[in-house]
Structure 1
Amino acid sequence: MSNINIRGCPAPQNITFVQRLQPLVGRTVTVFQPGFPKLTRTTGKLSNVTPNSFTVGSTVVVFQTSFFIVTNERVRKTKDCDLTATAEDIGELNGRLIRVGRNFVEFVQNPGRRVPTLFPLNLFTEVVCECEEE
């Protein structure tokens, strides 16, 4: 994963996508994947998180594909960084950065509810941050 395309974001925290998903096992999440003519949306309980995939309801999602997850947790705090996340066959998402992990970013989508979006960093994705100077 050395060719992850991420620019202008703060240094990553030492947490992986799998580690971030573990506390959500058993909770209801929504995963969005490419579909025709629009995004496929699957809502269900998160289960079976492995190093390569996870399951939402009866749908198995492989990490090295194009997708993003929306949780139902309310966010209290974001960083002073606007973010644009782009995924192949999904398009562009805009939001406010919560954190950068080792192989994912977490942010609140604009416009949208104040809940986290988990976005993998892989071959199919690109992330650009624009942070305010402190």
Structure 2
Amino acid sequence: ARKEDGSGPKILFPQNSGTTKAMEHATIAVGANIRSDASLTSEVLRTVPPGYPVAVLERQGDWFLVEDFRERKGWVFASLVTELRTVIIKVYKGNLRSGPGLKDDIIKQLNHGTVMSVLERNGEWLKVSDSEELTGWLNREIIWP
């Protein structure tokens, strides 16, 4: 999370107020509850882990309406969302490759729901890494967003 000295991940729309329509891809900075309404007293629909990618659909005060790769919607407190870019494997098994091409070696098969941080892009390929510093390339067809 962003620290008082300004270091850490930049928060999306930090000074925005009111209701805003948007379609930004973002990341949950720390584990967060996704709620049924923009209120701490509303029902918790699910809890998502740090790094979980979401699409920000709307802002209402200090809350974002978000949607995940399964098209599930809910509200999350805005300070828990950053612009850091992550992706999630949307297929049963996704091939992590040594380079940005189908002929490059498969380093590892990643399971459905695996979250990876984006390092760079090369056409339809993204260079990614995980929390254990495993690095490789994924084709955009197997990931969300």
TM-score by length of 1: 0.32
The higher-RCO structure (CA 8 Å, 6+ apart) is 1
Give the structure with higher Rg (CA): 2
- Where is the strand percentage greater, Structure 1 or Structure 2? 2
